[in-house]
Structure 1
Amino acid sequence: MDLLVVGSFTPSVLLDVAGRTGRLRDRGLEVREVAVTSSPGQFRSLLDGELDVGLTSPDNVLAYRFNPRNPLGELADVRIVAAIDRGMGLGLYGRPGTTAADLVGAQVGVDVGTSGFALALYSLAEGLGVTRDRYDLVALGSTPRRLEALLAGDCLATMLNAGNELIAEEHGCVRLATAAEHLSPYLGTVVAVAGEHHLGGARRLSSALLETATEIAGGGLTDEAAESAARRLGLGDDLALRYVERLRDPRDGLVPDGVVDTGSLETLVRLRRTYLPAPVPGEPGADALDAALAEDSGLVQA
C-alpha cells in the first residue's frame, strides 16, 4: 500500500466514503488526510513535500503556476489532476439579519485576500452593489475557522461552503449570494499536486474519488455519505441529508467525470484578472494568467 498525505481545508466526505467503500484500498492507497489552515500554507507544504496531494481551489493552482506575485513569491510546477466539485454551496453568508447594505464599512472574513474564494467574494459583493473598497477584509484562515468567526461575531460576513454554510443557516445566518447563481460555470475543488513525483498516486486517488462521486450522484451511498457528513462535519441528521443532496446538485455539487471544463477555467481567470491583475512587463494588456487557457499550459494533467 502506498501512503498519500492529502491536505484539505474542510474534512472531505467524498474521501471518507471512498475509503470506507474500499475504493482507495483497491487502488493500493492508504490516505492520511491533514487539515490545512490557509491556501499559502497548503501550497508551501505541497512544495516542501509535507503534503503529497491537495484538495484545493483551482484558482490556487492558477496563482501558484502562473502569477509570480502569488503569496509565496515564486512560480511552482503545480497541476490539476481532476475536478471534484463546483463549489458545494459556496456563497457569501452574513450574520442573522444582515443585508447587502450592512456590508459597507463592515469586517468581512477571507482565507487570505488573494485566494480564489476571496476573489469570488469580491464579485458576489459587487453584484450586490458593494465594491471591494467599501468593506474591511480580515484574514481568518480556512472555511471552518471562518464559520467559527462568523458565529462568534468576529466578522459580519464571509464565504462558506462544504457543509459549513448549512451550519451557518441553522444558526440563522443569511445567504446573500452564491457562486452557483452568479459565477457559473465554476469549480470549487480539484485534486492538485506539485511536480511529477506524486502524479501517479494522485491519479489513482482521483479515480477512487470519481468512482465514488459517480455512485453518489446516481443516487447511491446515501446512508454512507450522510453518516460521514454527520461524523466528519458535525451535521445533524437533517443537515447531513441536505449535504448529500448538495453533493448531487449538478450546479454546485460533484463533478463525476472529473473534467476541468474550459468555461470554469475562464471564469476563474476572469475573476483573477479583474481583482488581482498580473500585468506582463512589456506586453500592454497582457496578463500572466492568459497562459493558463492555452492547450499546452500544463495546468491540467488528468
Structure 2
Amino acid sequence: MTEELVVGAFSPSVLLRVSRRLGLLGERGLLVREEPVPSSPAQFRALIDGGLNAALTSPDNVVAYRFSPGNPLGETADARIVAAVDRGLGLGVYARPGLTTAADLKGAAIGVDVPGSGFAFGLYALLASLGLEQGDYRVVPLGSTPRRLDALLDGRCDATMLNAGNELRAEDAGAVRLARLTDVCRPYLGTVLCVVGDRRRPEVDALAGALGHAAREIVSGGAGPLAAEEAADALGLSAALAARYVERLRDPDEGLVTDGVTDPGAMATVVGLRQRYAPRADDALATALDPSRGLVDPPARA
C-alpha cells in the first residue's frame, strides 16, 4: 500500500491539483495530501518534527531555518530546496478598500506572516520604494496569505502582501495594489518545494518531477482549462478571475518555473533582502549560496 506523502502549504496549490488530474502523481506511485499551515513557524515545526514530509514555501524560509538561529523557532535544521516552483504569482502590496495611495499608510497596520519572514522583507522593500520607512507603520503578525487576505478585507490590517490568487480576490473586493514585488526586487523566486532531512526523498523527488511536468503543460497551454477549473474550485475564484490566475501562472516574470531549477540570481535577491532587513544574519548568510553549504539540491528529473 502506498504511504501518503504530506505536503504543507499556505494557499491551496493549483499546480498540485493539476498534477493529480493529469495522472502525474499516480503514474509515479504517489499519494499526496496537501495540509494547510497557519504560518511559516508552524510549517517548519511540522517539517522538523515529521508531521510534514515536504512543504511549498518561500525560499527565504528555507534560508532562515537552515542558517539563522534567530528564526522564530530558535533552532536550525537540514532544510533544503528540492525544486523551484514559481516566481511570485502576482506578489505585491495591497491596501484595503478605501485606501489608494502610499500616503494613506502613514501610521497604518501592515499585516505580515511573521515580521522576520521573506514576504515581510519584500513588503518592507516595496513600502520603502513608495517612500515609507519602517517607523512609518505598524507591523501586525497575521499568519498565512489566506489569513492576511481575510484580515485585509475585514479591516484588521490596512495593507499586506498577497499573491497566488488571493490578490485577485482582494482586487475583486476593491483592494488596490500599490506596488508589485517584481518591479522592485528581480529576479525573484516566490515558492519552492523543500524538505528537512532525507525522509521520503525518493517520493519528494518524484513529486518535484510531477510538478515540473504539470507546469510545462500549463505554460504550453494544454492544461490551461484544467488549471482554470482547479483555480476556481480551490481558490474560490470566478471564471473570469480563474482565467486571470492561469495567465499569471504562464507569466515569464511571475509565473511557474517549468524546469524546477533554482535561479542563483533570484536566490541572491531573496538572501539580499534578509541581509538588508535582518542584519544580524549577515555573517551566517555570507556564504549561504555557496553550493557546498547545501541549501539547494539538484533538481529532480521529470
SS at match of 1:293: coil
How far apart, CA to CA, are the structure 2 residues paired with 1:141 and 1:184? 25
Whichever residue aligns with residue 295 of structure 2, its letter is: L
Give the RMSD, CA atoms, in angstroms: 0.9
Using the alignment, how far apart are the partners of 1:293 and 1:47 within structure 2? 22
Give the corresponding residue for 1:90.
Answer: 91
Aligned equivalents of 1:234, 1:197: Cα separation in 2: 34
1:297 equivalent to 2:298? Answer: no
Q: Which amino acid aligns with 1:41?
A: A
Letter in 2 for 1:47: I
Render the CA deviation track for 1:135-185: whole Å, top value 9, x for unaligned.
001111110010001000111100000000000001111001111211110
Q: How big is the shift at 1:76?
A: 0.6
Alignment partner for residue 272 of structure 1, among 270, 274, 278? 274
Matches within 5 A, 1:127-276: 127-276=129-278
Q: Distance in 2 between matches of 1:295 and 1:50?
A: 28
Q: Is the 8 A contact 1:36 1:42 kept in 2?
A: yes
1:61-72 matches, within 5 Å, as: 61-72=62-73
Could you report, residue by residue, the CA deviation over 1:58-100 in whole angstroms, capped at 9, with x for unpaired residues?
0000001011111111111010000000000000000124210
Question: Residue 44 of structure 1 aligns with which residue?
Answer: 45
Tell whether 2:71 aligns with 1:75.
no
Rounded Cα–Cα distance in structure 2 between residues aligned with 1:33 and 1:46:
13
Unaligned stretches of 5+ residues in structure 1: 280-285
Count of aligned residue pairs for this structure pair: 296
The residue that corresponds to 2:115 in the other structure is 113
Q: Is the 8 A contact 2:57 2:191 kept in 1?
A: yes
Residue pair 1:89, 1:165 contacting (<8 A) in 2 also = yes
Identity among equivalent pairs (%) = 59
Where do 5+ consecutive residues of structure 2 fail to align?
none
User: How far, CA to CA, are the matches of 2:177 and 2:61 in structure 1?
Assistant: 24
Equivalents in 1 of 2:129, 2:57: separation in Å?
Answer: 25
| Other structure's SS at 1:269 match | helix
